[in-house]
Structure 1
């Protein structure tokens, strides 16, 4: 459990990620989805289904050679949604070539042009859209054609054409998403160096965007436009507007730097340097503070030496930091903390001996310093980095012996135990873990210290010691996150089937593991699946149950209330979604979700609406919220239809054949996709992982090479049929095949990297539970819990 800390203080751990006997592991796939806005028609995003698309994908049916127009439209919309653009184009052509109604022809022409643009053929798409506008000048769909043209021209850097197309769209659709379109026009004007018109467009966008999350971005763009025109006062006013509501230190630092630079460029140096000084004093750990510091120093503006040293230290300018702290020491009697930061600077520079000397100076000469206790901790960390683990442990235990009431004492014991575990001295680690809990029972790490003591004892076959530690944990800390884990290990080691049976009543990870142990299941349980289910099975019964609880009628639940339909967020979200701007549409819908989060009837109606338009992540969120508001209280107590809304099988027609091809239980893929993206094909994580299966770009390139995928490009990761194919392949090739068929290890490899998973596996001696506890990456450890719990849900809801 402490290995994550040790990775920060030991150099050995840094090499662990690259362990692999057969290949260089590709970077780890990640989860924790975070939506990222896309800026163009050809940007990386899943295509939304058209109105004729089915609400829940099922295994692909057998198509007739010449489908009727209605069926062809459904098939084309499905292909478009899946990212199979060539197939979509062909199916729309079948509609155009068949005996279709005028409305079907009109829709097919527009959608075929859209699919053509998405396929990467902008010239043909422009031709088709222009023809559409000429052929259907009175159609309500002309506005969509102008919007698509605006996006395509923008991507091609045809700025004037883009502006004209966007303006035509605005004439037809008024101000529904005018902030987005005006911003795009402003961006095009900026590219044309027409900053006056850019400023007008950005200002217009701001008047429409007061309730959206894009306000700060628009203020920034408007400020830049003013700067380009030499209007520094107006630019600074925009930056100050941002500072009036921005909360994140990272972003505030960026804006302070921009405001200060604007003032300096305008000749208002005193005011500009005042902003820079505020930045240096308030956010010393930001790179923007270092840029401000350089400007202040170069202009000979006095800077407080201690703060200067901090900024240099965080910027990894260690020599400059040391010099600043030494000047501070020479001029100030109270300088204990300066020695501490000199030690950190030498440590950062790799000068272990000098760092230790500085920490010793703090410890021996400055007991009054606020960082005095931290100096002991950092001295030990530095010793460990230098390879002197025994010396590090001695430093930490000596600190505790001499200063048992110091606030850092529990941390010292915790760190020392972790170092001993890492070096294989489990017996001594047990002593320190137990000491931590005994002497500091209320410390944040007390319960985990007991758990680790149990694991350490288990590793050296001291089972009674292990059981005693776990019993103490379960009896003393019933609210600990490790309470269930301690019960599992007690039941497992003592073969206490009664205890395991009690734990197995829970649907949590440890409850499920207890059930696996009781049933002697090796690895994961297998339950044959039935995926050819009616997506509306049980809907009438669920609606009657919910209507009774809410004292309304089932008919009322099936319709979105007027207050929602007229809500600007609903209107904007629907417009964005229909136009293929998925991230923008989802943002509006999620804001709508928050506005009605305590209204169960609205949550139900939204869950169905979102499902039917293919907006799966918000649908799941709404369904989950609904059951919490309902008498059920939790998903497991809700009617079957609502449970399946929370744990759906979207994209089954893509998942089932890939799972079969790679001999993987489809339920495992559904469980993984729900954990990775919540079936949101447009999502991008903070680690740049994208698409349904959350594959990062370097991994996508590796898979494309493995599969010989022609003309691969990064945007392909957002095409569902490719994402599923690549993700299932990765789970098989770099997970199961690489890790001896162990699905737990394969899951860990998918999230934390094959090299890490191999290392954790090697240290577990074939014990699944020990493998899971060996996982040193917090995100990956929680990922295993989530996948195991998801699998149990899918087996309950879709098992034969």
Structure 2
């Protein structure tokens, strides 16, 4: 018996022992529960023949059993696995007839279509799959990506090869972040290899669009195959130009810098009058910076100034030059670049960022009055700037330098009013306390925003008949130890009722008990965001444990211990990287809980002596956490266990952060280091992880495990 089957059997036995001995009129209900759980145990252990027999017995003996829809669906699936397809479809018809409001009807529709597919009836399968695919209500169904893959396979079984090819291609591009992507890609490539005449399916327009989608979705390596197809075709001059640029962009995304530089230079030689020439120069400049070649970047910058003075890319390069000078500690020169930018590009979309950087340079140079003017300008003219919270904090720090303590407190209080529970919120609270200690007359209220009391101990109630029905089924499933199914019924109950806070809290607890951490934190962040952001002193500890769950505890605890990493850091990174979604996939191509790039994952797997069969393996929580934690260990050793630098390097790469770190000379002022980070994504990321890290220790103490 497999380990997971043994554990499930033991859990079921425990639940059965907990069920009360039937002595009243509830005897039939309790006996039915036992028999259903016995059948479901066999089903989970993939003993489908036995499971089918037991489910049939439950349905025959207890025709009004509340979980009858689960029995019918599980029976049908067991019958499909037992190659009893017609009986499976009969069971599904009974499910529809007996339980017309069951939440399982969508699953039943997919299973009905699958029964034709597995029976080897591709025509009927195609008809069923196409029908499902056209209905809007299924567009978010988790089985939809797999349905489209099976539809392509059914077309192939019918020997409709061009239609199958089109379906494989559509599937991989539509579900590019799904695990079915790799299967669709392999099948598409196999069909082309078997029948090269199918290449006519790919119109040039389709190929160009597909290449763009793949490059922008972190699949630049796969785009190269379509680029090769286009290279073999007779193209118009405009198409040649477009292809040359896409080819260079693919290698740029792949970080194959030398190849990308050669291709962009070739593009500029072949298409010197192209409207995309400034873009190509911009890429060349950024490639120089990737390689640490500041002089190379400056040569590109001067060329942009000379040849394309009014281009958006010229303005962008001026800002980038200023940022790079800041990283080198050359704040005087950086300030001059930013000042020139504001004079020559006052309405550019990048202006708000440049105003911030100009103020930051002035602060670093000790020109606090100038810094204050820039920060006031940013806060006044760009109220929606992503720098706003940071600018308010540094406006407070600037006011302190100018001995304007009342003004400083006012800025800090604005941070707290906007987002008390955040990285800069915590710094602002500390600053007010520090100033208040020096001068009690500067004190301002620090208490949390008062919310209506959360119905924490309140028994959950439902008003609608539908809500009550789903809730009762949820209670039964939870009693049987089937928490994931119970959560699904509870979600349906809440959605069909008044959606009270008590109902959402009950759903959150079920997500926590069933290990559905992604669903848990999504729910908490969406339904209780104001309380999380502004804080509430009356909230119990359990609330915060739902906000910051100990996700995948066994793997995290073991991996953290093996690598001498604080498990709170691992949890905080997962929270920020993927929101605890095992199948998370970024536009850059990062995968899984800790968002590993396949190349990085392969290197780490080699260090750990692990074998990775395919990139899809990175979606497995155990492998992803094991490798991600090893990467944290490597970075921690590289940066002397300095947390902000480690976090920044995890997001942006160690080579770039080494430059920032050296430029700041290992600062003790963490906020100053964070404000020096030139990348918006990394800047936000470091703040977020540090805040989560602080919260995990606040909620769980020094040791989270």
TM range (shorter): 0.5 to 0.7
Please list, as runs of the form range in 1=range in 2, the aligned pairs for 1:585-600 lying within 5 A after superposition: 585-596=486-497, 599=498
1:266 equivalent in alignment to 2:155: no
Specify whether residues 425 and 789 from structure 1 end up closer, same or farther in structure 2 by C-alpha distance, changes over 3 A only.
same
CA distance in 2 between counterparts of 1:592 and 1:131 reads 26
CA distance in 2 between counterparts of 1:250 and 1:384 reads 42
Query: Residue 203 of structure 2 aligns with which residue?
Result: 304
1:503 equivalent in alignment to 2:411: yes
Specify whether residues 206 and 398 from structure 1 end up closer, same or farther in structure 2 by C-alpha distance, changes over 3 A only.
farther
Q: Tell me if the contact between 2:125 and 2:154 (Cα under 8 Å) persists in the aligned partners.
A: yes
1:163 equivalent in alignment to 2:52: yes
Please list, as runs of the form range in 1=range in 2, the aligned pairs for 1:385-784 lying within 5 A after superposition: 385-396=290-301, 398-399=303-304, 402-421=307-326, 426-436=331-341, 439-441=344-346, 443-456=348-361, 458=363, 466-495=371-400, 496-505=404-413, 506=416, 507-509=420-422, 510-520=424-434, 560-563=461-464, 566-596=467-497, 599=498, 603-606=500-503, 647=544, 686=584, 763=664, 765-773=667-675, 776=682, 778-784=684-690
CA distance in 2 between counterparts of 1:674 and 1:347 reads 30
Higher deviation after alignment, 240-249 or 226-235: 240-249
Higher deviation after alignment, 610-619 or 241-250: 610-619
Q: Tell me if the contact between 1:253 and 1:279 (Cα under 8 Å) persists in the aligned partners.
A: yes
Specify whether residues 741 and 374 from structure 1 end up closer, same or farther in structure 2 by C-alpha distance, changes over 3 A only.
closer
Q: Tell me if the contact between 2:15 and 2:480 (Cα under 8 Å) persists in the aligned partners.
A: no
Pick aligned residue for 2:283 from 371, 378, 381: 378
Q: CA deviation at 1:397?
A: 5.7
Q: Tell me if the contact between 1:356 and 1:382 (Cα under 8 Å) persists in the aligned partners.
A: yes
Please list, as runs of the form range in 1=range in 2, the aligned pairs for 1:231-250 lying within 5 A after superposition: 231-244=121-134, 245=136
Q: Tell me if the contact between 2:245 and 2:267 (Cα under 8 Å) persists in the aligned partners.
A: yes
Q: CA deviation at 1:266?
A: 1.2
- Deviation string, structure 1 residues 80-137 (Cα, Å, up to 9, x no partner): xxxxxxxxxxxxxxxxxxxxxxxxxxxxxxxxxxxxx758648977997999899999
Q: Tell me if the contact between 2:477 and 2:485 (Cα under 8 Å) persists in the aligned partners.
A: yes
Q: Secondary structure at the match of 1:267?
A: coil
Query: Residue 442 of structure 2 aligns with which residue?
Result: none
CA distance in 2 between counterparts of 1:429 and 1:121 reads 66
CA distance in 2 between counterparts of 1:737 and 1:562 reads 57
Q: Tell me if the contact between 1:474 and 1:483 (Cα under 8 Å) persists in the aligned partners.
A: yes
- Deviation string, structure 1 residues 14-69 (Cα, Å, up to 9, x no partner): xxxxxxxxxxxxxxxxxxxxxxxxxx9968xxxxxxxxxxxxxxxxxxxxxxxxxx
Higher deviation after alignment, 160-169 or 432-441: 432-441
Query: Residue 608 of structure 2 aligns with which residue?
Result: none
- Deviation string, structure 1 residues 457-478 (Cα, Å, up to 9, x no partner): 5556665654444333223223
Larger helix proportion of the pair: 2
Query: Residue 445 of structure 2 aligns with which residue?
Result: none
Q: CA deviation at 1:389?
A: 4.0
Q: CA deviation at 1:259?
A: 2.1
Q: Tell me if the contact between 2:356 and 2:374 (Cα under 8 Å) persists in the aligned partners.
A: yes
Specify whether residues 234 and 785 from structure 1 end up closer, same or farther in structure 2 by C-alpha distance, changes over 3 A only.
same
Q: CA deviation at 1:340?
A: 0.4
Query: Residue 191 of structure 2 aligns with which residue?
Result: 295
CA distance in 2 between counterparts of 1:345 and 1:749 reads 25
Query: Residue 525 of structure 1 aligns with which residue?
Result: none
Q: Tell me if the contact between 2:319 and 2:341 (Cα under 8 Å) persists in the aligned partners.
A: yes
Q: CA deviation at 1:767?
A: 0.6
Query: Residue 336 of structure 1 aligns with which residue?
Result: 241
Q: Tell me if the contact between 1:206 and 1:219 (Cα under 8 Å) persists in the aligned partners.
A: no
Q: CA deviation at 1:619?
A: 10
CA distance in 2 between counterparts of 1:193 and 1:261 reads 19
CA distance in 2 between counterparts of 1:202 and 1:368 reads 65
CA distance in 2 between counterparts of 1:123 and 1:648 reads 27
Query: Residue 359 of structure 1 aligns with which residue?
Result: 264
Unaligned runs of 5+ in 1: 1-39, 44-116, 522-537, 547-554, 656-667, 691-696, 702-716, 796-800
Q: Secondary structure at the match of 1:157?
A: coil
CA distance in 1 between counterparts of 2:229 and 2:168 reads 18
Q: Tell me if the contact between 1:122 and 1:152 (Cα under 8 Å) persists in the aligned partners.
A: no
CA distance in 2 between counterparts of 1:386 and 1:188 reads 58
CA distance in 1 between counterparts of 2:646 and 2:287 reads 34
What's the TM-score once normalised by structure 2's chain length? 0.64
Specify whether residues 226 and 579 from structure 1 end up closer, same or farther in structure 2 by C-alpha distance, changes over 3 A only.
same
1:150 equivalent in alignment to 2:39: yes
Query: Residue 614 of structure 2 aligns with which residue?
Result: none
CA distance in 2 between counterparts of 1:578 and 1:371 reads 64
Q: What count of residue pairs does the alignment treat as equivalent?
A: 602
